[in-house]
Amino acid sequence: MQRLLHFPLALIALLVALPVLAVLAALLQWNAASSDILAQMASTVLPQYAITSIALCAAVAGGTALIGMSTACAVTLFEFKGRRFFEWALLLPLAMPAYVSAYAYTDFLQFSGPAQTWIRETFGLQGRVLPEIRSTWGAALLFIFTLYPYVYLLSRAALSERAAHLMEAARLLGAPLGTRIRRVALPLARPAVAAGVSLALMETLADYGVSSYFGIQTFTAGIYKAWLAMDDRISAAQLAVMLLIVVAVLLKLERRAQKKMRFSAIKGQRAGSAEAKPVQLTNGRQIQAQLLCALPILLGFALPVLMMLRLLLAGAADDEPIRWAQFAQWAFNSFKLAGIAALLATALALMLAFAQRRQANRFTHGITHIVGMGYAVPGAVIVVGLLIPVGLLQTWQPNWSIGALVTTTILGVIWAYLVRFTAVALQSIQSGYSRIPQSLDDSARMLGSSSINLLTRVHAPLLSRSAAVAALLVFVDVMKELPATLVLRPFNHDTLAVVAYQLAKDERLAEAALPSLALVLVGLIPVIFLSRSLRTPR
């Protein structure tokens, strides 16, 4: 019976791993033509892809580490007016897709935008007075202020568990404040910073909306250009493999950092002191802490929202009617795809987590490990990995309508969603299972309960909250997903993310404002739940 259960688990693993396997298998078709293509890429576009991607990642790594760590230290180690507000408000940029920020800042900072117009009129200047935002440095700034919450969240968790206690001990030993932060807090938070930076870099490398809209040459933009513009499957696969190698290294670093975080937590808890309190700031230092926390919120969330609202109101003032019927259709398409993907991903995650709970062996651990890697796979790689086998089968058997089943169908786009976001649901379900004692399973087995009864009557009620959180997270991620939806969606089945991207690319930013704001509003839901769960009285 147990071996029979292995088949559906192996099928799920194959479903998730197929895009990566297909991309790797495409390299087996290496021939003289492939070598010529790679040589041509190496002499033309490949160096630019590598230089741009490296520069972007270096800037994002430094910026997210600096902002995330400094804000986490401020709200965790110090007491000042507004600290409780900043504790949750610093998470708000998580609700802002980077490509929506790109649309907002482009309109605000362009030559005819309000910022440059005001500067020219106020100071009597001529021509462009601000640098072009559509550049590598502009993309880096957008990513920094939308992705720093990854570092902030993990660093804050690490510091709140033990830093205040150890800093209090260092204070009693006569160490000044600067030394305590440099010698105690920063080393404790280093694994959390490394894990958060790795997550931010994976999101940066997976991005397509910002790089495409800004016209910067990254690996992700190059993959789509090779596949869609040049119709070159081998070149797209080669670029996808290069991107996968970098992502695999980042994923390894992130998991190693997570292990160090758990090890440090055990060590730190032994040296705790229940009487440790944050340091009270006054006067100038209090203002500095408030400005430090307010700036990322302003640039990463408040200003982009205000800019998009200005665009929306400006469009209404110009007598451009909002097409509510079309907006309702876009929203319905987005909610339908997100709802289906959320339900299926949560069901698959429950199946995998339950199997691992019942049979904690190498097979189930391997399956969950494969599925857990899905979130790290960029959407561009997933698209190429799904289309390569479809194209090969279609070439091998022209009479088969394989392509019609995957491309431009709901089946294909849902498949891509499951490959990427089942890992999100699995993490939430596994977290729920970690809070259910194994003794409940033992008692149920002693009473003759079957596996189905154990899952439905014992586990399901206890996992209801975790399952709801898993479905919500997948739902929001699917709503914001752009690369896979853009290529695989059915005809006349546009979503809010796709419509916002297409309208912004056509420079119709006023029309892109409404779907963009709708995406931000949906993204606020998990941020609100997360901020509530992290809010602890002191």
Per-residue pLDDT at 399: 64
Write the pLDDT tens digit of every residue in 277-298: 778 888 888 999 999 999 999 9
Which range has highest mean pLDDT (120-124, 226-230, 372-376, 454-458)? 120-124
Q: Check residues 506 and 405 and name the one with the higher pLDDT.
A: 506
Helices 233-270 and 2-26 cross at an angle (nearest 10°) of 130
Q: Please check whether residue 471 is in contact with residue 346, taking contact to mean a CB–CB distance below 8 angstroms.
A: yes
Q: Please check whether residue 258 is in contact with residue 37, taking contact to mean a CB–CB distance below 8 angstroms.
A: no
Burial of residue 284 (CB within 10 Å: 0-12, 13-18, 19+) is exposed
Which residues have a Cβ under 8 Å from the Cβ of 502 and sit 6 or more positions away?
494
DSSP 231: -
Write the pLDDT tens digit of every residue in 480-492: 988 888 888 888 7
Q: Radius of gyration of the chain from Cα atoms?
A: 25
Write the pLDDT tens digit of every residue in 50-61: 899 899 999 999
Which range has highest mean pLDDT (231-245, 314-328, 499-513)? 499-513
Per-residue pLDDT at 318: 62
Write the pLDDT tens digit of every residue in 371-404: 777 777 788 788 888 877 776 666 666 665 555 6
Q: Please check whether residue 355 is in contact with residue 13, taking contact to mean a CB–CB distance below 8 angstroms.
A: no
Is pLDDT of 538 > 70? no
Average of pLDDT values for 100-106?
93
What distance lies between CA 65 and its chain's CA centroid? 16
| This prediction's pTM | 0.85
Write the pLDDT tens digit of every residue in 133-168: 999 999 999 999 999 999 998 888 878 766 667 777
Per-residue pLDDT at 274: 43
Per-residue pLDDT at 223: 81
Apex 26 CA angle, 23 and 27, nearest 5: 105
Per-residue pLDDT at 266: 45
Of 196, 230, 203, 234, which is closest to residue 218 (Cα–Cα)?
A: 203
Domains parsed from the chain with CATH numbers: 1-30+323-505 (1.10.3720.10), 44-311 (1.10.3720.10)
DSSP 79: E
Write the pLDDT tens digit of every residue in 71-91: 998 998 888 999 999 999 999
State the amino acid at position 247 in one-letter form: V
* DSSP string covering 263-288: HHHHHHHHT--TT--PEEP-HHHHHH
Q: Check residues 496 and 448 and name the one with the higher pLDDT.
A: 496
Per-residue pLDDT at 265: 47
Is pLDDT of 271 > 60? no
Write the pLDDT tens digit of every residue in 27-46: 666 655 556 666 777 777 78
Q: How far is residue 61's CA from residue 232's CA, in Å, rounded to a whole number?
A: 32
pLDDT category at 344 given cuts 50, 70, 90 is very high
**How many alpha carbons fall within 13 Å on the CB side of residue 428?**
25
Q: Please check whether residue 489 is in contact with residue 415, taking contact to mean a CB–CB distance below 8 angstroms.
A: no
